[in-house]
Amino acid sequence: MKKRHKSLNVLINNAAVLDTWQGTILEATAAELRDTFITNTLGPILLTQALLPLLEAGKPARVINVSSQLGSVANMTDGWAGYGISKAALNAATRKLAEALAPRGISVNAASPGWVRTEMGGESAPLPVEKGAQNIIRLITDISHATTNHFFEEKGEIPW
Protein backbone atom coordinates (compact mmCIF):
# COMPACT_ATOMS: atom_id res chain seq x y z
CA MET A 1 0.00 0.00 0.00
CA LYS A 2 2.85 2.40 0.77
CA LYS A 3 3.89 2.27 -2.89
CA ARG A 4 0.52 3.59 -4.09
CA HIS A 5 -0.30 5.93 -1.21
CA LYS A 6 2.08 8.27 0.54
CA SER A 7 -0.01 9.33 3.52
CA LEU A 8 -3.25 8.91 5.42
CA ASN A 9 -4.92 11.76 7.30
CA VAL A 10 -7.95 9.96 8.75
CA LEU A 11 -8.52 6.32 9.61
CA ILE A 12 -12.08 5.37 10.57
CA ASN A 13 -12.23 1.91 12.12
CA ASN A 14 -15.88 1.02 11.54
CA ALA A 15 -15.97 -2.77 11.22
CA ALA A 16 -18.24 -4.51 13.71
CA VAL A 17 -20.31 -7.60 14.24
CA LEU A 18 -23.19 -8.05 16.62
CA ASP A 19 -23.82 -11.21 18.60
CA THR A 20 -26.36 -13.52 17.00
CA TRP A 21 -27.97 -13.82 20.43
CA GLN A 22 -29.33 -11.05 22.63
CA GLY A 23 -28.63 -12.88 25.86
CA THR A 24 -26.68 -12.21 28.98
CA ILE A 25 -23.06 -12.87 29.86
CA LEU A 26 -24.17 -16.15 31.45
CA GLU A 27 -25.38 -17.41 28.06
CA ALA A 28 -22.40 -16.31 25.98
CA THR A 29 -20.36 -19.03 24.32
CA ALA A 30 -16.60 -18.91 23.91
CA ALA A 31 -16.93 -18.93 20.11
CA GLU A 32 -19.39 -16.01 20.04
CA LEU A 33 -17.26 -13.94 22.42
CA ARG A 34 -14.06 -14.73 20.51
CA ASP A 35 -15.49 -13.91 17.07
CA THR A 36 -17.04 -10.66 18.27
CA PHE A 37 -13.83 -9.61 20.04
CA ILE A 38 -11.64 -10.38 17.01
CA THR A 39 -13.70 -8.17 14.70
CA ASN A 40 -14.75 -5.37 17.04
CA THR A 41 -11.55 -4.97 19.07
CA LEU A 42 -8.55 -6.67 17.53
CA GLY A 43 -9.37 -5.61 13.96
CA PRO A 44 -9.12 -1.86 14.67
CA ILE A 45 -5.93 -2.29 16.70
CA LEU A 46 -4.20 -4.34 14.02
CA LEU A 47 -5.35 -2.08 11.18
CA THR A 48 -4.09 1.00 13.03
CA GLN A 49 -0.73 -0.72 13.54
CA ALA A 50 -0.53 -1.71 9.87
CA LEU A 51 -1.34 1.81 8.66
CA LEU A 52 0.85 3.63 11.18
CA PRO A 53 3.56 4.59 8.64
CA LEU A 54 0.92 6.23 6.44
CA LEU A 55 -0.69 7.99 9.42
CA GLU A 56 2.69 9.33 10.51
CA ALA A 57 3.26 10.64 7.00
CA GLY A 58 -0.18 12.29 7.05
CA LYS A 59 0.09 14.09 10.37
CA PRO A 60 -1.57 15.76 11.89
CA ALA A 61 -3.62 12.62 11.44
CA ARG A 62 -6.48 11.11 13.37
CA VAL A 63 -7.92 7.71 14.13
CA ILE A 64 -11.61 7.37 14.93
CA ASN A 65 -12.78 4.09 16.40
CA VAL A 66 -16.50 3.58 15.92
CA SER A 67 -17.76 2.35 19.27
CA SER A 68 -21.17 2.24 20.93
CA GLN A 69 -23.04 3.42 24.01
CA LEU A 70 -23.17 -0.30 24.83
CA GLY A 71 -19.38 -0.14 25.30
CA SER A 72 -19.53 2.55 27.97
CA VAL A 73 -18.63 0.81 31.22
CA ALA A 74 -20.45 3.57 33.11
CA ASN A 75 -23.69 2.88 31.17
CA MET A 76 -23.35 -0.85 30.51
CA THR A 77 -26.22 -3.29 30.89
CA ASP A 78 -26.13 -7.06 30.48
CA GLY A 79 -27.88 -7.47 27.10
CA TRP A 80 -25.80 -8.03 23.96
CA ALA A 81 -22.96 -9.08 26.27
CA GLY A 82 -20.32 -9.97 23.68
CA TYR A 83 -20.91 -6.79 21.69
CA GLY A 84 -20.80 -4.58 24.78
CA ILE A 85 -17.65 -6.23 26.12
CA SER A 86 -15.90 -5.98 22.75
CA LYS A 87 -16.79 -2.29 22.42
CA ALA A 88 -15.64 -1.61 26.01
CA ALA A 89 -12.35 -3.28 25.05
CA LEU A 90 -12.24 -1.11 21.91
CA ASN A 91 -12.67 1.94 24.15
CA ALA A 92 -9.74 0.76 26.29
CA ALA A 93 -7.70 0.24 23.11
CA THR A 94 -8.69 3.74 21.98
CA ARG A 95 -7.27 5.19 25.20
CA LYS A 96 -4.06 3.15 24.89
CA LEU A 97 -3.62 4.17 21.24
CA ALA A 98 -4.31 7.82 22.10
CA GLU A 99 -1.54 7.80 24.69
CA ALA A 100 0.90 5.99 22.40
CA LEU A 101 0.21 8.07 19.30
CA ALA A 102 -0.13 11.58 20.80
CA PRO A 103 3.65 12.15 20.74
CA ARG A 104 3.59 11.21 17.05
CA GLY A 105 1.00 13.88 16.20
CA ILE A 106 -1.87 11.41 15.76
CA SER A 107 -5.10 11.87 17.72
CA VAL A 108 -7.30 8.91 18.59
CA ASN A 109 -10.93 9.16 19.69
CA ALA A 110 -13.98 6.90 19.91
CA ALA A 111 -17.36 7.78 18.46
CA SER A 112 -20.83 6.35 18.93
CA PRO A 113 -23.06 6.88 15.89
CA GLY A 114 -26.15 5.82 17.84
CA TRP A 115 -28.58 3.06 16.87
CA VAL A 116 -28.51 3.25 13.08
CA ARG A 117 -30.73 1.57 10.45
CA THR A 118 -28.18 -0.71 8.84
CA GLU A 119 -28.17 -4.44 8.22
CA MET A 120 -26.73 -4.84 11.72
CA GLY A 121 -28.91 -2.18 13.39
CA GLY A 122 -32.12 -3.42 11.82
CA GLU A 123 -35.23 -1.72 10.51
CA SER A 124 -36.44 -0.59 13.94
CA ALA A 125 -33.34 1.54 14.58
CA PRO A 126 -34.36 5.21 14.88
CA LEU A 127 -31.47 6.81 12.95
CA PRO A 128 -30.83 6.80 9.21
CA VAL A 129 -27.24 6.10 8.16
CA GLU A 130 -26.67 9.76 7.27
CA LYS A 131 -27.59 10.89 10.79
CA GLY A 132 -25.35 8.26 12.37
CA ALA A 133 -22.44 9.35 10.19
CA GLN A 134 -22.77 13.01 11.27
CA ASN A 135 -21.00 12.45 14.60
CA ILE A 136 -18.06 10.80 12.90
CA ILE A 137 -17.87 13.53 10.27
CA ARG A 138 -18.00 16.12 13.06
CA LEU A 139 -14.90 14.55 14.62
CA ILE A 140 -13.08 15.05 11.34
CA THR A 141 -14.31 18.54 10.47
CA ASP A 142 -15.11 20.32 13.75
CA ILE A 143 -12.89 18.84 16.47
CA SER A 144 -9.30 20.05 16.80
CA HIS A 145 -6.50 17.65 15.84
CA ALA A 146 -5.16 18.22 19.35
CA THR A 147 -8.27 16.65 20.90
CA THR A 148 -7.46 13.05 21.73
CA ASN A 149 -8.50 10.32 24.14
CA HIS A 150 -12.23 11.14 24.19
CA PHE A 151 -15.47 9.23 23.56
CA PHE A 152 -18.09 11.25 21.65
CA GLU A 153 -21.70 10.95 20.60
CA GLU A 154 -23.96 13.46 18.88
CA LYS A 155 -24.74 15.31 22.15
CA GLY A 156 -21.15 15.47 23.42
CA GLU A 157 -18.88 13.24 25.45
CA ILE A 158 -19.81 9.82 26.76
CA PRO A 159 -18.24 8.41 29.93
CA TRP A 160 -15.81 5.62 29.18
- Annotated active-site residue 122? The verdict is no
**Which listed residue (37, 80, 83, 151) is catalytic?**
83
Q: Whole-angstrom Cα distance, residue 54 to residue 58?
A: 6
Count of CB atoms situated within 10 Å of the CB of 150: 19
Q: Could you tell me the sign of the dihedral formed by the alpha carbons of 133, 135, 141, 146, in that order?
A: negative
Query: By the 8 A CB rule, do 127 and 116 touch?
Result: yes
Give me the active site residues, please: 83
